[in-house]
Amino acid sequence: MKELELYIHIPFCIQKCRYCDFLSGPADDTSKRRYTEALIREIEAVPDDRDIRITTVFFGGGTPSVLPGEWTAAILETLRRKFTFAADAEITTEANPGTVDKEKLRVWRESGINRISFGCQSSYNEELRMLGRIHTWEDFLMSYALARESGFDNINIDLMSGLPGQSLKAWETTLRRAAGLKPEHISAYSLIVEEGTPFASMELDLPDEETERMMYSRTREILKEYGFVRYEISNYALPGRECLHNVGYWTRTSYLGLGLGASSLIGNTRFTNTPDMGEYLRNSANPGCLRRNIEHLEEKDEIEETMFLGLRLMRGVDKHRFEQTFGTTIRKIYAPVLEKYIDLGLLAETEDAVFLTEEGVSVSNAVMAEFLLDSY
């Protein structure tokens, strides 16, 4: 059986955060209902293939938790009718604090959702306000407690460092407050000021490079005290609680994206659904018409992606899997790069894998860039 991951895009948020360039925005209930109906039509139109086994489902956005619980359950029910699910499939929904209540959490549990990823970002209300978030730290604590009471035993907390005006001490406090709640997983990304966002046109008092560097290294040290292991450049989990869906991305498992603007990788083909809502609503029953940017990857592209994405994982790129997939070894293709960076102490190699060392992680972009293949 072929394994497949599913990504479901819910492009709605209560209000736009000042740093966000995701395909998302506010909408009224009628628009949300129309979209959910269109999404269900898109799922129903996927060609049947009983030889596929769904290992993970991820509701992302936007803020998937703005939909009524019953609508999310209806989407999942349609997915189950269409696909064969692994018995232990990881089914995650992103949620914003303040958008969940007991009833919604109950419906989610009953529908099979077994993981929640809370967009918390900070434990300081002034930082949350400055980011344009809709919630306070207290809202987050309440939502987190409700999720635990409702039986969710796999929870991620998203946090963000490098915020305007944020001190190293404030970041450390946020990390300790979040880790002290004992979630299974913490994602800790640093703020990127994206073009076209309100932040891009503001004078921001961003932490200097040295503070940013300290924030990154302290993240690992502090989370380690609480039992978290860094398994990817920006992701930390208790042992055995890594996000399987994202590990799938980094190891190039096929995934099908459903919904507005959703991206897919099926075998060696990448494509993206239209980002135009009108077009999506009109054509969702005919997924072929939604597809944009269809790219058939050559072997060279697949090898590069395998290295870039795999090196993000602390366990690195699996040498045996690489050889099975490409019929050649990493060493045969990349001997000079491996030698150079192993000598510099930035890469390491064992019988089974090639991976970034601790020093390598801090300059990962520069190292990864050398895995581009000019000629192959």
Of residues 131 and 233, the one with the C-beta less far from ligand SF4: 131
Q: Smallest gap, in angstroms, from Cβ of residue 134 to ligand SF4?
A: 7
**Residues whose CB is less than 8 angstroms from the CB of residue 368 and which lie 6 or more positions away in sequence, other chains included:** 307, 308, 311
CA–CA separation, 149 and 138 (whole Å): 16
In one-letter notation, the amino acid at residue 166 is Q
Whether the Cβ atoms of residue 26 and residue 14 lie closer than 8 Å to each other: yes
Q: At what angle do helices 168-179 and 209-225 cross, to 10 degrees?
A: 20
Q: What are phi and psi of 353, to 5 degrees?
A: -150, 160
Of residues 189 and 326, the one with the C-beta less far from ligand SF4: 189
Q: Smallest gap, in angstroms, from Cβ of residue 333 to ligand SF4?
A: 38
Of residues 61 and 316, the one with the C-beta less far from ligand SF4: 61
Q: Smallest gap, in angstroms, from Cβ of residue 25 to ligand SF4?
A: 8
Of residues 61 and 257, the one with the C-beta less far from ligand SF4: 61
Q: Smallest gap, in angstroms, from Cβ of residue 302 to ligand SF4?
A: 30
User: Cα-atom radius of gyration of the chain, to the nearest Å?
Assistant: 21
- Which is nearest to 178 in space by CA: 108, 139, 210, 226? 226
Return the half-sphere exposure (C-beta side, CA atoms, 13 A cut-off) of residue 14: 12
Residues found near ligand SF4 in the complex (CB under 6 A):
13, 16-17, 20, 22, 24, 61-63, 96, 119
Q: Smallest gap, in angstroms, from Cβ of residue 143 to ligand SF4?
A: 13
Of residues 188 and 367, the one with the C-beta less far from ligand SF4: 188
